[in-house]
Amino acid sequence: MCMKFVKLDFDNVYGLAEIVACKIRERYGDEKLRDVVLVAVSRGGLVPARIIADLLEKEEVYCIAYRSYTGIGKQEEGKLLQGLDIELKDREVIICDDIVDSGNTIRKLKEALTIKGARVKTAVLHWKESSSEKPDFFAARCEKDTWIVYPWELHEFGKILANKKGESLEDI
């Protein structure tokens, strides 16, 4: 399979986050939105969650770290690196990430927060329809063979690409 790379800048990301925030606001309305807690998935979901929090005027944003990718398109069994030590019983929680690719991360985190008693929804910038999970809120769809390069991972991606193919980021 030939991987297609799509490089985004912060303006693209902000526009996508605006779409997600609007969908969340439409779903909850201003009054119910006050009780919603955002949980950013580190690392990819940190920036989208912060932008969405700003647009929704949410101050209650937490972080959870889960890692499963070891390279471009390379995934292994995920590992929780940092959990949440807050009371979530009967709370409305939205997990925010950059993309649902395989669906494994969102599924595992949704299960973990549901066990803590939270009512969990998911929000991402991009959704690969081939994934095992469909997010509750998303801005755009992408194909299975597409790798989105977000602006917060340009250096990391460039190094991986250079080591793998001898190409530079400017080549995509």
The predicted-structure confidence for 151-169, as pLDDT tens digits, reads as follows 998 887 777 776 765 555 5
Orientation angle between helical segments 10-33 and 46-56, nearest 10 degrees: 50
Which pair of tokens denotes residue 162?
């250079």
- Residue-wise pLDDT for 6-50, tens only, equals 999 999 999 999 999 999 999 999 999 999 999 999 989 999 999
Cα 167–chain centre separation: 27
Using the structure block, give the residue that is written with the tokens 């769809």.
Answer: 141
- Tell me the percentage of the chain whose pLDDT exceeds 70: 83
pLDDT score of 172: 47
The pTM assigned to this predicted structure is 0.86
| pLDDT, mean of residues 89-100 | 96
Determine the Cα–Cα distance for residues 130 and 144; give it in Å rounded to an integer. Answer: 6
pLDDT score of 66: 78
Q: Between 75 and 78, where is the model more confident? A: 78
- Residue-wise pLDDT for 116-164, tens only, equals 999 999 999 999 999 999 999 999 999 999 989 999 988 877 777 767 6
Burial 133-146 (b: 16+ CB within 10 A, else e): bebbbbbbebeeee
Average of per-residue pLDDT values in the chain: 88
Determine the Cα–Cα distance for residues 79 and 167; give it in Å rounded to an integer. Answer: 30
Q: Please give the CATH number for the structural domain made up of 9-142.
A: 3.40.50.2020
80 vs 42, 113, 142, 144, CA distance in Å?
10, 12, 26, 25
